[in-house]
Structure 1
């Protein structure tokens, strides 16, 4: 299976086997907590209560709440998404993102956490800013790379620029997820419809925007 940086655990999952096992227990407990509570509302205390251990048993491994949340999101994502990364290489970028949509529909709490962390970590002063930004840039690059392979394989037209296509596909993927949190509609159907329209447009020669209709 193709390995991406999303599959690589954080440094908190290295060390003595017993210590690693304890850290995994903490993270798994945090996943359960975050299925009930927003990450802004949850604390180390809820995680300790979920595990039935002392607060120190949690904070000795993850003294920073932000660090624990990011480690939790990473393990949560890799566990749910581990089997779909090769979809991009075998079937294409659009099927890959469609599979991510399906995973996120099954894990709404994970989707909420991802979006909340992205918003919070977009601030350069956030302790996880560099890490989360690099993870996002890696995802973008993965989709861009997959689109380049799509062109080579004849799945997408050569008139599409992979960098621009990745911008557009991720805009659809992320934007529809935000909408789905605020109103009721079939997210997967909406993704299929929008992606189909987008792919049809890729077959056309690019025309520079005419801003006359806006300005």
Structure 2
């Protein structure tokens, strides 16, 4: 390779940058384990740092405070859930919900985190209170519109109120997940399929 070719080739990150990124991700991974067990308020930066093998000061080199670290844990959790749901252009709302339920069964830590934090966030002083309130509100509004289109296309029962059904989908998913966290013999996928078949899907429509 000539000098010009070497200078034109993209440079790969290496050295301290790669090490720093790996350390940052290790902190996020351990934070997930801690927050999913003890919640935000119970989660200690000192414990997370110890699990990673750094000092609390070393942890704060990567994240300004516990709130920033917690936000990154939630962001990565959301990315994984969106990936599990699939492309909205390729899957109906019901199919996406089923895919998320199946995914959550394979990721107990993330499912536990969401269950604990959503309960904690009912406290108006919790750092995620506004975020979780907006999550449920926005998710319901989006689901309502999708359900209305599903009724037009014959994929959703026409005697179902889309606004109520939108809220019920989240309620059923969260409730089933909580029962599974308490008793892993609970079949989340089977129960959610039952809800869809009995409540959302027209009797004449194929259940996918």
TM-score, normalised relative to structure 2: 0.73
Q: Could you list the runs of 5+ residues in structure 2 that have no partner in the other structure?
A: 1-16
Give the gaps of 5 or more residues in structure 1. 1-15, 204-215
Please show how residues 117-136 of structure 1 align to structure 2 within 5 Å. 117-136=117-136
Q: Is the 8 A contact 1:93 1:147 kept in 2?
A: yes
1:140–1:166 CA contact under 8 A, matched in 2: yes
Q: Structure 1: which 4+ aligned runs deviate by more than 4 Å?
A: 16-25, 32-41, 200-203
Residue 114 (structure 1) shift: 0.3
In structure 2, C-alpha distance between the alignment counterparts of 1:163 and 1:68, rounded to whole Å: 34
Q: Distance in 1 between matches of 2:133 and 2:86?
A: 19
Aligned to 2:53: 52
- Report what 1:146 is aligned to: 146
Name the structure 2 match of 1:191.
192
Do the aligned residues in 2 keep the contact of 1:121 with 1:128 (CA within 8 Å)?
yes
Q: Matches of 1:47 and 1:162 in 2, distance apart?
A: 43
Deviations 1:83-139 (A, max 9, x none): 42424x433222111111111100111111101111111111112211222223232
CA distance in 1, matches of 2:47, 2:40: 11
Q: Is structure 2 residue 177 aligned with structure 1 residue 177?
A: yes
Matched residues in 2 for 1:85 and 1:139: separation?
Answer: 16
Question: Aligned with 1:170: secondary structure?
Answer: helix
Rg larger for: 2
Higher mean C-alpha deviation, range 121-130 or range 74-83: 74-83
Please name the residue that 2:5 is paired with.
Answer: none
Q: How many pairs were matched up?
A: 187
The secondary structure found in structure 2 opposite 1:135 is helix
What is the TM-score when the length of structure 1 is the normalising length? 0.71
Q: Distance in 2 between matches of 1:83 and 1:187?
A: 16
Question: Alignment partner of 1:197: what SS?
Answer: helix
Q: Which deviates further from its counterpart, 173-182 or 107-116?
A: 173-182
Contact 1:81–1:103 under 8 Å retained in 2: no
SS at match of 2:77: helix
Please say which of residues 165-174 and 112-121 is displaced more in the overlay: 165-174
- 1:51 and 1:39, CA in 2 relative to 1: closer, same or farther beyond 3 A? same
